[in-house]
């Protein structure tokens, strides 16, 4: 008996506290594409874009078919994902400027609390690899928002200034212009380095891809290979990237304690025609609050927890990733501000059919519509191609039954006046929760003296 006790004590002494913590806490990987359409993956119905890694990910995990981006354009959508708050609450959506630009002086306020900051309280290593687009000035960069490291392009890849788009490591520009043909490959290499480096510790990897935002770039290995043309080349390289990450998790034997979420910041950029993506059966695309602008192809993968091959039709949003990651890590979410994030784990685990039944649709600082259950009401709509033009107001509002009509083709407002009335009350209740905040997108960059 004494010999057994001695051996037990010896093993416990060798087992460090951080090892115990790493064993208990899951890792998180969020892969966030740019301008990827609902219909751009094989597992979401595309006939000629080949996505074997994502198709396998969906077969082994969960395909979410009613999952929304926080906004239909880049900056506010990223702000919503990281903070779990509608961007109207933190000044990251604007009627004056649709997104942040290289001459912008604003960014995600440091008073906001990101997923990275929430997870840091539990000892997580955190990395942001890819397109940031939440402020390029030093006070707004990822390392001021809870990330231990950053590697990527600070805004959209079409935002050229003299010298071209920069590639950064930390707060330093290491390449200008960024060699964009190899950026997906290099993001992947950086992600693999971080995963291998942190394999024994709990980690959070946020990987917001630069692609398939216009202009499109693919490496030599993928360029000219897809039947879908250059756009297909780009998506197929992202699929390869996902495959590399999942394979690394398997090889390191940490796949069973790692949640990977794949989704996109908004729908396809339709004005670029064949160089843009497809929303599949959904209406419109980027810049609009129609389904094609904000409903995204989404996959959850966690071999150690999620039953494979399941299609989840419950509503979810990238807004919910903060509350979900916090719940899984046993971390506290902020209680001093209004959050729009709900914990999706009961749906992921199959214990509840739904935890989110409402989604508010904002763009350019204005509420355009709301969905509750199967009903979606539009107060304002925008041109699917020229979404920068003034919106069209609807009185009475448009109403669609998304269970019957996900393509939003048949307005049934006249036959459902009580539904319209109920949704209008919901809108007023929501507006009562809003507080005035500074418009971050309208702040000009300070002039150099």
Mind listing the pLDDT tens digit of every residue in the chain (449 residues)? 443 334 333 333 443 444 444 458 999 999 999 999 999 999 999 999 999 999 999 999 999 999 999 999 999 999 999 999 999 999 999 999 999 999 999 999 999 999 999 999 999 999 999 999 999 999 999 999 999 999 999 999 999 878 899 999 999 999 999 999 999 999 999 999 999 999 999 999 999 999 999 999 999 999 999 999 999 999 999 999 999 999 999 999 999 999 999 999 999 999 999 999 999 999 999 999 999 999 999 999 999 899 999 999 999 999 999 999 999 999 999 999 999 999 999 999 999 999 999 999 999 999 999 999 999 999 999 999 999 999 999 999 999 999 999 999 999 999 999 999 999 999 999 999 999 999 999 999 987 75
Residues 227 and 48: beta-carbon distance below 8 Å: yes
What is the 8-class DSSP label of residue 111? T
Give the per-residue pLDDT at 446.
Answer: 84
Annotation says 128 is catalytic: no
Which member of 74, 128, 213, 378 is catalytic? 74
Distances (CA, A) of 69 to 106, 157, 221, 301: 22, 20, 31, 18
- Is 217 within 8 Å of 234 (Cβ atoms)? yes
Task: Based on the residue annotation, tell me whether 213 is a catalytic residue of this protein.
Answer: no
Asked whether the beta carbons of 245 and 192 are under 8 A apart, the reply is yes
pLDDT at 162: 81
- Among left, alpha and beta (phi > 0; psi -120 to 50; other), residue 186 is alpha
CA angle 70, 270, 299 (to 5 degrees): 45
- Report how far apart, in Å, the C-alpha atoms of 119 and of each of 23, 140, 201, 210 are: 16, 19, 12, 24
User: Residue 7: is the preceding peptide bond cis (ω within 30°)?
Assistant: no
**pLDDT at position 23:** 56
Domains, the chain, in order of start with CATH, read 25-357 (3.40.720.10), 360-442 (3.30.1120.10)
**How many residues comprise the chain?**
449
- Choosing from 133, 136, 213, 378, which is the catalytic residue? 133
Q: What is the pLDDT of residue 412?
A: 98
* Residue 8 pLDDT: 37
């Amino acid at each position: 008996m004494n010999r057994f006790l001695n051996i037990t004590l010896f093993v416990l002494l060798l087992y460090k506290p951080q090892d115990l913590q790493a064993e208990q806490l899951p890792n998180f990987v969020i892969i966030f594409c740019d301008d990827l359409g609902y219909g751009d993956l094989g597992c979401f119905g595309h006939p000629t874009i080949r996505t074997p890694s994502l198709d396998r990910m969906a077969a082994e995990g969960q395909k979410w078919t009613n999952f929304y981006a926080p906004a239909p354009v880049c900056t506010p959508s990223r702000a919503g994902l990281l903070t779990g708050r509608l961007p109207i609450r933190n000044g990251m959506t604007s009627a004056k400027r649709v997104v942040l630009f290289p001459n912008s002086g604003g960014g995600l306020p440091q008073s906001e609390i990101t997923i990275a900051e929430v997870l840091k309280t539990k000892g997580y290593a955190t990395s942001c690899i890819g397109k940031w687009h939440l402020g390029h000035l030093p006070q707004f960069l990822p390392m001021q928002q809870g990330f231990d490291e950053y590697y990527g392009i600070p805004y959209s890849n079409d935002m050229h200034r003299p010298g071209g788009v920069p590639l950064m490591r930390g707060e330093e520009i290491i390449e200008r212009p960024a060699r964009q043909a190899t950026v997906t490959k290099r993001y992947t290499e950086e992600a693999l380095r971080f995963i291998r480096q942190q394999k024994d510790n709990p980690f959070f990897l946020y990987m917001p891809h630069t692609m398939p935002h216009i202009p499109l770039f693919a490496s030599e290995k993928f360029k000219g290979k897809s039947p879908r043309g250059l756009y297909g080349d780009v998506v197929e390289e992202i699929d390869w990237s996902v495959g590399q990450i999942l394979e690394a998790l398997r090889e390191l034997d940490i796949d069973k304690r790692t949640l990977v979420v794949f989704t996109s910041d908004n729908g396809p950029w339709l004005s670029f025609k064949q160089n843009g993506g497809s929303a599949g059966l959904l209406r419109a695309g980027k810049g609009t609050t129609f389904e094609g602008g904000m409903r995204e192809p989404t996959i959850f993968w966690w071999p150690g927890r999620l039953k494979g091959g399941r299609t989840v039709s419950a509503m979810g949003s990238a807004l919910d990733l903060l509350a979900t990651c916090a719940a899984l890590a046993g971390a506290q979410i902020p209680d001093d501000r209004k959050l729009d994030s709900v914990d999706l784990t009961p749906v992921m685990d199959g214990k509840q059919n739904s935890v989110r039944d409402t989604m508010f649709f904002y763009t350019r600082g204005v509420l355009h519509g709301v969905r509750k259950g199967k009903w979606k009401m539009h107060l304002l709509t925008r041109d699917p191609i020229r979404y920068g033009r003034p919106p069209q107001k609807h009185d009475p509002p448009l109403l669609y039954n998304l269970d019957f009509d996900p393509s939003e083709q048949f307005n049934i407002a006249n036959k459902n006046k009580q539904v319209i009335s109920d949704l209008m009350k919901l809108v007023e209740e929501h507006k009562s929760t809003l507080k005035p905040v500074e418009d971050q997108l309208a702040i000009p960059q300070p002039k150099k003296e």
